[in-house]
Amino acid sequence: MNVEKILSEMTLEEKASLCSGGDFWHTKALKRFDIEPIMLSDGPHGLRKTNRNHVVTGADDETAKAVCFPAACATASSFDRTLLEKMGKALGEECQAEDIAVILGPGVNIKRSPLCGRNFEYFSEDPYLASQQAAALIKGIQSKGVGTSVKHFACNNQETRRMAVSANVDERTLHEIYLSAFESVIKNAKPWTVMCSYNRVNGTYSSQNKYLLTDILRDKWGFDGLVMSDWGAVDEREKGVAAGLDLQMPSAHGKTDAIIVEAVKKGELDEKLVDECARNVLKLYDKYKTNHKGGSWDADEHHELSRRIAAECAVLLKNKDDILPLDKNKKICFIGAFAKEPRFQGGGSSHIDCTQVTSALEAVKEYCDVEFALGFEAESSEPDEKLISEAEDLAKKNDVAVIFAGLPDSFEFEGGDRKHMRMPDCQCELIERIAAVNKNVVVVLHNGSPMEMPWINKAKGILEMYLAGQACGGAACDLLFGKVNPSGKLAETFPIRHEDTPAYIGEFGEGDNVYYNEGLYVGYRWYDKRKMDVLFPFGYGLSYTKFEYSDIKLSADEINADGELTVSVTVKNVGKRSGKEVVQLYVRDRHSSVDRPVRELKGYEKVSLEAGESKKVFFRLDKRAFAYYSTAEHDWVVEDGRFDIEAGASSRDIRQSAFVYINNGYTPRVKFTINSLIMDILAYPTAAKEFFDFLKQELTSEGMDIHAQRFEELTDDMLTVFSDMSVRTTMDFLTTKGITREKLTSTIERLNVIVNEGAEE
């Protein structure tokens, strides 16, 4: 299709008409050019194809059956890119069969607070991990000729007042924490589309935020796909066009198309910007036409795949006395509503109409007979004495009691945040009471985000399944009985208490403003900096075997900024059964002119090892692995100095470390003013000499030789007094006639030239 030719033949009205949807899920048709509507559909961990055309009434609701794969909270914990690519391919096949042009996801928003109601749809508190897992998923989906829409760009980190709130975040934090996963995904996986968020970022709605949609996304990162709005996220459409929002979704019934036309006619909007939006819609249409093949898929196969994926994602949190894997010859009972009706997905736009669901109670028949007691009602909080005592009676008769617990649907859903980090009381009480009558308690958890666990010492085993998709029951049994060895690691910290969490104070803001006061210190960056105890750290997860690390090696002792560093470390399975280990690589900046997190994840690999086997694992670290975002340069910079390279089994279990020097020639640019403190100048000996020479000369010329002499000697006492004072104050105090501001300013300028000699422009 010749996009430019069609564009040149279109009227302004036709171009504007392409800038919004035709209905709830489709783009518009343009018969004159044989352009048909194409379908955009949720996402992200399964296909939700619905003909529901009204958000409120749900009229004519009819949804295609699809496989619900594990949600991102789970898939992130797999730390396995290959697995995500496989899942993406399966999603792509289902979309092809259903004529979907773009599946709406994945979501790479950062888990700023564990209470965000949509955390289950997001990957991690760490941008590197989120970007890697999301990129693999996108590559898988798009390899099948179906587009993706990375969402929600940007700073949609809460559901509270999501359509009004402004996420107020400083420039460095914005880039290092909240944009970085988007950036990496856009550069490395080339998603067909990006979806902007509902909220404002630093006061401006994302849907009309030129800084985000054009300056960063297109100009800095080179994105050349289509930007669509989240459903209903558009405020002032003409501002959106000017900012780079190509497509408004869903349909605005022509109202905003007319606004665009009028703005152009009045000379308030450049028609070229409308052309750009229409061009991106046409290019998307063309991509769909070129890649659409239709086809079919096998529901049973995808269900099985979903089971295998779920098993790779689960995290074994506790395994005292090796209670797991279970011995199927023992008497085992299952307790808890989630054994019978698992909680495997979250509420809202990602909710899938599943082909089938397997509960643990059904799946366990593949292994052995178990008895069952309900213990609690899924949606209730109040302990039910009858249900609990039935469960106690059952637990007394059995060798092991496996309790399926977690968070109910009503706790985690799109559009609302959790109010607290607790599990329902009835479940906590059930665990305590069962543990009082049976010392062999295993808790299997179904939840989309961390919870407090006041009962933790009562359970010998804890298996975190997260929201593991429709085949979660089978996966849970495969892990419980040891058919699969757990290999997931936490993609987020489990704090001890909600009060410990980084965003706790002012968490979701006041009115329409939330301030990200914790800055860079989100997730493990916060707990590590404050040396806080946590329930389970980022990157943590047990296995039924054990691994030893040895022999970390770096390809060089010293590199320059363009050089790459190769790191290798040997991992050995020293246990009795095969298993997989996620080797994590953290980088730690030892000398920096700016505050930096203690350590940051910059690489990971999942390795499969037979009992006794060892393998060398390799990582490549490029410039970005050492960089921080400089607000002086408005860009990423790498400073010279020592960096520690740490290989670990979790962020708090570093097994091997080595260090490298970066010799880059980069020193951050310095800008002194007359209000700089003397201590700032003292940090640069050449500048300090120049400054004190000037000072002595001025004092002498004013006849204050005694003072001049004291600056000649510059004792420690003098430095203590003066270093906290500003240049301006020092001058005011010392000189009787005073030095003119101009003279002072030109001296300071000279200092700036001296200190920045050799620094990057």
Please say which residue, 42 or 589, places its beta carbon nearer to ligand BGC.
Answer: 42
Cα torsion 308, 312, 316, 317: sign = negative
Please say which residue, 134 or 435, places its beta carbon nearer to ligand BGC.
Answer: 134
- What is the β-pairing status of strands 204-205 and 200-201? antiparallel
Q: Least distance from C-beta 41 to ligand BGC, angstroms? A: 8
Q: Between the CA of residue 220 and those of 364, 624, 668, what are the distances in Å? A: 52, 15, 21
Question: What single-letter amino acid sits at 605?
Answer: E
Please say which residue, 14 or 230, places its beta carbon nearer to ligand BGC.
Answer: 230
DSSP string, 155-189: T----TTTTT-EEE--HHHIIIIIIHHHHHHHHHH
Please say which residue, 50 or 573, places its beta carbon nearer to ligand BGC.
Answer: 50
Say how far apart CA 98 and CA 52 lie, in whole Å. Answer: 15
DSSP string, 669-735: -----TTSBHHHHHTSHHHHHHHHHHHHHHHHHTT-HHHHHHHHH--HHHHHHHHTSBHHHHHHHH-
DSSP string, 68-137: -PPPHHHHHHT--HHHHHHHHHHHHHHHHHTTEEEEE--B-----STT-TTGGGB--SSHHHHHHHHHHH
Please say which residue, 102 or 607, places its beta carbon nearer to ligand BGC.
Answer: 102
Say how far apart CA 236 and CA 25 lie, in whole Å. Answer: 21
- The four Cα atoms 166, 171, 175, 176 give a dihedral, to 10 degrees, of -110
Q: Least distance from C-beta 212 to ligand BGC, angstroms? A: 17
Q: Of 539, 537, 659, 528, nearest to 589 (Cα)?
A: 659
Say how far apart CA 576 and CA 592 lie, in whole Å. Answer: 44
Q: Least distance from C-beta 124 to ligand BGC, angstroms? A: 18
Q: Which residues contact 196 (CB under 8 A, 6 or more apart)?
A: 152, 153, 154, 206, 207, 209, 212, 213, 227, 228, 229, 230, 233, 245
Q: Least distance from C-beta 743 to ligand BGC, angstroms? A: 59
- What is the β-pairing status of strands 565-573 and 547-554? antiparallel
Q: Which residue is nearest to ligand BGC (CB)?
A: 349
Please say which residue, 43 or 114, places its beta carbon nearer to ligand BGC.
Answer: 43
Q: Least distance from C-beta 42 to ligand BGC, angstroms? A: 5
Say how far apart CA 376 and CA 330 lie, in whole Å. Answer: 25
Please say which residue, 151 or 655, places its beta carbon nearer to ligand BGC.
Answer: 151
Say how far apart CA 372 and CA 356 lie, in whole Å. Answer: 22
User: Cβ(547)–Cβ(610) under 8 Å?
Assistant: no
Say how far apart CA 457 and CA 443 lie, in whole Å. Answer: 11
Please say which residue, 207 or 438, places its beta carbon nearer to ligand BGC.
Answer: 207
Please say which residue, 142 or 398, places its beta carbon nearer to ligand BGC.
Answer: 142
Q: Least distance from C-beta 116 to ligand BGC, angstroms? A: 13
Bridge partner list, 572: 548, 614
Cα torsion 699, 705, 711, 717: sign = negative
Say how far apart CA 580 and CA 487 lie, in whole Å. Answer: 6
- The four Cα atoms 363, 369, 374, 379 give a dihedral, to 10 degrees, of -10
Q: Least distance from C-beta 632 to ligand BGC, angstroms? A: 36
Please say which residue, 132 or 229, places its beta carbon nearer to ligand BGC.
Answer: 229
- What is the β-pairing status of strands 653-662 and 641-650? antiparallel
Q: Least distance from C-beta 162 to ligand BGC, angstroms? A: 8
Q: Least distance from C-beta 291 to ligand BGC, angstroms? A: 21
- The catalytic residue among 80, 126, 230, 528 is 230
Q: Least distance from C-beta 230 to ligand BGC, angstroms? A: 5
Bridge partner list, 650: 653
Q: Which residues bind ligand BGC (CB under 6 A)?
A: 42-43, 104, 151, 230-231, 349
Q: Least distance from C-beta 262 to ligand BGC, angstroms? A: 28
Please say if 512 is a catalytic residue: no
Please say which residue, 198 or 404, places its beta carbon nearer to ligand BGC.
Answer: 198
Tokens in use for 466? 């997260």
Q: Give SS3 for 462.
A: strand
Active-site residues, by number, are: 230
